[in-house]
Structure 1
Amino acid sequence: MVVDGAARDAAHAVRTAVFVDEQGVSPDIERDALDVLSRHVLATGPDGTPIGAGRIAPDGRIGRMAVLADWRGRGVGEAMLQTLLDDARERGLRSTWLHAQLPAMGLYARAGFVAEGPQFDEAGIAHRTMRRHAGAAFAVEDADTAVDATVTIIASARRTIALRSRDLDPGLYDHPDVLAALRRFVTGTRGASVQMLLHDPATVQRRGSPLLALAQRLPSALAFRAVEDPVDREFAGAFLVNDAGGFHVRTLGTRMDGDAATDLPGRARQLQQQFAPVWERSRVCSEFRALGI
């Protein structure tokens, strides 16, 4: 629940326990002028005991997200984050952002936040900036942004991901962060499905790809097909789309730049509808099975 008044004191107590007592942040830094301007969320246990806190500033910055140690890994952070995002939507804030501690980036990626810029130190702790664009696309202009957008599109998927690529794009789908996101998705999501449609499977086979080894271990979740229809082969672009309104579209599949979104379900459905018939008429990559897949 979003709180003010006396309940805010309880939120401060949770923050003190996590940031000051546990992480060694100075009390002078933990409290700041934004506290009185922000809206605060407080999570409580079944007995009403405060167990989590967070806030959102007037400019859409989410921060001071803290969950007591005994309650981590039980969905408290996700619930608080969703409450703050709901509050932002009700107040017309289209863009929200935050400084994420590196171990917490997965939480925010699952909610549609995309990392941007380099890692930096804040209060002696490594962070990265992350931003969520509600109902809007954003430009992907370089390989680093493509990787960060791809990680979030994978992490925020509900059950299905569709990928269309010429040859699995070296530098993107073999990037360690992207591979880690895929591995978490297929091992941590019941009924997960990743369909990968290739235009040049021979190059993938010759060059090799870490995704082939991952598919060998998880063949029920990751599947490859090759485009054969002459009309389908004329498609020059590439895209990644999930079932939660996220996508990354590239007009030229040989380049990393394009447009991406994490919350545009209408456009995502169009891409899924474009993908489905091509997938159905394409052939299974049996040559990959010869490698043990």
Structure 2
Amino acid sequence: MPTVTLPSYRIESADWHSHGRALRALRETVFIQELGGEEAREWDHADSKAHHLLAWASESVEAVGTARWLPSGQIERLAVMPEWRGRGIGSALLASAVRELRDSRRITPFVFALENTQAFFAHLGFDPEDAPFEKHGQMLAHMALRRPDALIDADLRSRRLGETTGRLFLTHSEHLALAARQLAAQAHRQIDLLSADLQPAVYDQQEFVEALRYLAIELRGRLPVRILVIDPEPSLRRGHRLIELTRVLSSDIQIRLVPKDWAEHSDQFLLCDQAGLFLTRYQDPRRTLVDFNSGAETRRLRRLFEQIWEQGEVHPGLRRLFL
């Protein structure tokens, strides 16, 4: 298996009418039984109007976490079952709520955080807006999302190929590397990569290479991994892991050179199965679009990839790998 750890849960949108029983059971366990909250305050009129999220155990009907967000931008009722804590579910629920909120309306997400949860929210980009205040005998802090980049890791780790909707624009190399390996590790059919120089900070990473190795071995004989490169010389000199992997699995992972006619103004992209997209446009090289469920754009770029692949040739330095 690839060394990337995939989530042992999935997060889905929910509503009170259809999922009220699961939502109620979770919140009763955490907020009333565990934390001693008052039942009369737990259930309010907002539930019927709120947008709910449920985290489900993978391949199961067991609900293990929940959160809800309101049209005002408030995120609340974030809860994870005790035996499922420590797996990133709370962070993923928060990231999913922020993603849904921002897709729905242009408003800054905020929370009212208990004293013992403020560090959790601060770690994920929420900053205090006002002095703490008391409500129902508890001290609360009004915290708003002011550093959204802090949520990107949690967001990427929670996404599922072909399921999670929503685009991300990334600029930092550590986020790009994480996005690439999360996409590659979830691919089951095909990975196509077009890169100027096989970007070492993104693609010369052990977990990404292991994901490609796993797919190539699983689908041996079908050429499931194809790579187009504009300038392979830097990678050849440095002993890039993808070059070495191609040498070992030369029948199942192949590299070709992008023809000159295509190279000058070419976008760079990673395509995973029929929906995973990692795209850096020639006109906007400083940021990369990542989408785990972009079927139409992925299919368009794969058609382009096929055209270039048919015209591509093996670079003399790469040809030696196949001798």
Tell me, in whole angstroms, the C-alpha distance in 2 between the residues paired with 1:244 and 1:148.
20
TM-superposed deviation, 1:53: 3.8
TM-superposed deviation, 1:163: 0.7
TM-superposed deviation, 1:149: 2.0
Tell me, in whole angstroms, the C-alpha distance in 1 between the residues paired with 2:219 and 2:83.
26
Tell me, in whole angstroms, the C-alpha distance in 2 between the residues paired with 1:41 and 1:248.
26
Tell me, in whole angstroms, the C-alpha distance in 1 between the residues paired with 2:22 and 2:264.
63
* 3-state SS of 2:178 partner: helix
Q: Percent identity, aligned pairs only?
A: 21
**1:94–1:208 distance in 2 versus 1, CA, 3 Å:** same
**Matching of residue 160 in structure 1 with residue 190 in structure 2:** yes
Q: Which residue is 1:201 aligned to?
A: 232
Larger radius of gyration: 2
After superposition, where does 1:125-274 map in structure 2 within 5 Å?
Answer: 129-130=154-155, 132=159, 134-187=164-217, 193-228=224-259, 230-252=260-282, 255=285, 257-274=287-304
Q: Which residue is 2:112 aligned to?
A: none
Tell me, in whole angstroms, the C-alpha distance in 1 between the residues paired with 2:245 and 2:239.
12
Aligned Cα root-mean-square deviation (Å) = 5.0
Give a deviation string over 1:80-103, Cα, whole Å, max 9, x none: x9xxx9xxxxx99968xxxxxxxx
Tell me, in whole angstroms, the C-alpha distance in 2 between the residues paired with 1:235 and 1:244.
24
TM-superposed deviation, 1:180: 3.9
Aligned-partner residue type, residue 245 of structure 2: L
Q: Which residue is 1:98 aligned to?
A: none
* 3-state SS of 1:283 partner: coil
The runs of 5 or more residues in structure 2 that have no matched partner are 1-13, 105-147
* 3-state SS of 1:172 partner: helix
Indicate conservation of the 8 Å contact 1:200/1:226, yes or no. yes
TM-superposed deviation, 1:265: 0.6
Give a deviation string over 1:227-258, Cα, whole Å, max 9, x none: 23x31222343111122312122124995522
Indicate conservation of the 8 Å contact 2:224/2:252, yes or no. yes
TM-superposed deviation, 1:182: 3.0
Tell me, in whole angstroms, the C-alpha distance in 2 between the residues paired with 1:276 and 1:40.
40
Range moving further from structure 2, 55-64 or 268-277: 55-64
* 3-state SS of 1:163 partner: strand
Q: TM-score, normalised by structure 1?
A: 0.58
Indicate conservation of the 8 Å contact 1:11/1:42, yes or no. no
Indicate conservation of the 8 Å contact 2:69/2:101, yes or no. no
Range moving further from structure 2, 205-214 or 181-190: 181-190
Indicate conservation of the 8 Å contact 1:54/1:65, yes or no. yes
